[in-house]
A = this chain, B = another copy of it.
């Protein structure tokens, strides 16, 4: 069966996010003062062929650990939809 897996990769909360800070400056210049913080990460959509949800999740977690996320600077969250 084919599963759609979303992997969210975000900068660790302890670290500065210069890209987010730059975007926040831009939003402020556009007059959107209600936005108080911006953090920018990646969203990765995987199509996984697997016999079950659990195995699809396992494949996505392995991919995240090995390639998609850099654990020194980022954390990831995996969510599976059928």
What's the nearest-Cβ distance from chain B to residue A44, in Å? 5
What's the nearest-Cβ distance from chain B to residue A26, in Å? 5
Nearest-CB residue, chain B, relative to A27: B63
How often does this chain occur in the complex, in copies?
2
A59 at the interface (CB under 8 A from B): yes
Give the contact-size bracket for chain A.
Answer: 35 or more
Assess the B45–A10 pair: CB atoms within 8 A.
yes
Chain A interface mostly: strand
Assess the B45–A38 pair: CB atoms within 8 A.
yes
Chain A residues near B (Cβ < 8 Å): 2, 8-10, 20, 23, 26-27, 30, 32, 34-50, 56, 59-60, 62-63, 66-68
Q: Which 5 A-B pairs give the minimum distances between C-beta atoms? A: A37-B47, A43-B43, A36-B47, A39-B45, A41-B43
